[in-house]
Amino acid sequence: MQNLLARSLKYQDGKLYVLDQYLLPHEQHWHLCNSVSEMQALILSLKVRGAPLIGLAATLLVAHLAEQGGSQAELAQAIDELEATRPTAVNLMHCMKQMREALKQTAFVDALVTAAERLFNEDVALCDAMAKLGAELVKPGENILTHCNTGALATAGVGTALGVIYHAHQQHGDIHVWVDETRPLLQGGRLTAFELESWHIPYTLICDNMAASLMAAGKVDKIFVGADRIAANGDFANKVGTYNLAVLAHFHGVEFYVVAPTTTLDVDCPDGQHIPIEQRAATEVTGVSGSFGDCQWAPNNAQVFNPAFDVTPAKLVTGWVLNTGVYDQGQVAEGALKAL
């Protein structure tokens, strides 16, 4: 496979490396990944995270294992096991479907390598397309609010919602970003803050429960978020807390946009109620951990509810910013997403 380089994923001289996103921003550690069990552990622990990136990391591993001499049966099993690692982000299923098709070819090693290179390079182009379209919605001087991390760390390119913010800043120079810290795993506080800082984009970090008072004070002009799966009717799953923001935005009359590549669309899924939501460990809520160590504040026997994602109904969305265009409520209600 050719060398491929992204912000948090790289294939270099026949070796696959992933940047440990759990240790960012204070430590930059690249893991060498050689096996399905290693990749599963990296994905499950969110060292590798973000809907497009999970799919691409799994894809590069399958192509790498094929080049290492894996048999068709072993590779088929690898694809099945990787696909089952996290249930919500459909990009992983989309990528594994493409790899399963490539595996059917007689020259399956070449087919898998070609498919992996194509999926990686395609993601870069999809990011650019939606970021440019989304940036046209942003006016100079605006305050944008975002949730979780949807930047270059989460994709092979510039990102989804954060890619829009990057391009808007390139165009206008004077935008400001409110960054939800994004409990429980703090992807906003750790990763989005890190990316905005490295891009020299002005931002202010807030706890998730501060967004309402900012909107009430008229300090949020637009909200851009990413997605892990968009259903055919426009409902979508994204990092837990996104739905709260959509409800708040609706109440305060703030425009609320979801930004995602067409690889995040699941037209076979009729609506948000059919999106599987990953439930995660109680320890993520009873305390925190990261490069700074572990800490638990809740009582040992605390009951915990910890869904990784929530579903935002289409009726709360101002616009769907995809690589193919920006779609409004009317277009989505008429089936624009199903037609893609």
Per rule CB under 6 A, is residue 146 in the interface with ligand MRU? no
Note whether 167 binds ligand MRU by CB under 6 A: no
Piece of 43-51, 55-63, 74-82, 299-307 that binds ligand MRU (CB under 6 A): 43-51
Q: Which is nearer to ligand MRU, 169 or 239 (CB)?
A: 239
Q: Is 171 annotated as a binding residue?
A: no
CA dihedral (159, 163, 166, 171) in degrees, to 10, reads 140
* Minimum distance from residue 280 beta carbon to ligand MRU (Å): 9
Structure tokens of 340? 């893609």
Strand partners, 4: 11
Q: Which candidate, 168, 173, 78, 89, places its Cα nearest to that of 132?
A: 168
Q: Which of 49, 132, 167, 190 binds ligand MRU (CB under 6 A)?
A: 49
The reply on whether position 52 binds ligand MRU by CB under 6 A is yes
* Residue 155 beta carbon to ligand MRU: minimum distance, rounded to whole angstroms: 5
Residue 72 counted as an annotated binding residue: no
Q: Is 56 in the site for ligand MRU (CB under 6 A)?
A: no
Q: Is 190 annotated as a binding residue?
A: no
Min dist. Cβ of residue 323 to ligand MRU (A):
12
Least distance in angstroms from the C-beta of 54 to ligand MRU: 7
When the beta carbons of 61 and 154 are compared against ligand MRU, the nearer one is: 154
Structural contact between residues 31 and 40, judged by C-beta atoms closer than 8 angstroms: no
Task: Give me the count of residues in the chain.
Answer: 340
User: Residue-wise over 6-16: b if at least 16 C-beta within 10 A, else e?
Assistant: bbbbbbeeeeb
Residue 260 annotated as binding?
A: no
Residue 229 assigned to a binding site: no
Residue 10's φ and ψ, nearest 5 degrees, are -150, 145
Residue 337 is which amino acid? L
Instruction: Please report whether residue 50 would count as binding ligand MRU according to CB under 6 A.
Output: yes
Annotated catalytic residue: which of 123, 228, 235, 310? 228
Rounded to whole angstroms, how far apart are CA atoms 199 and 195? 6
Clarify whether 228 is annotated catalytic: yes
User: Is 187 or 324 the residue whose CB approaches ligand MRU more closely?
Assistant: 187
**In the complex, what is the shortest distance from the CB of residue 51 to ligand MRU, in angstroms, rounded to a whole number?**
3
Query: Residue 160 interacts with ligand MRU (CB under 6 A)?
Result: yes
Single residue of 228, 235, 266, 310 touching ligand MRU by CB under 6 A: 228
The annotation places the binding site for substrate at 49-51, 86, 187, 238-239
Residues annotated as catalytic are 228
| Residue numbers at the binding site for ligand MRU (CB under 6 A) | 46, 49-52, 89, 148, 150, 154-155, 159-160, 187, 226-228, 238-239, 308
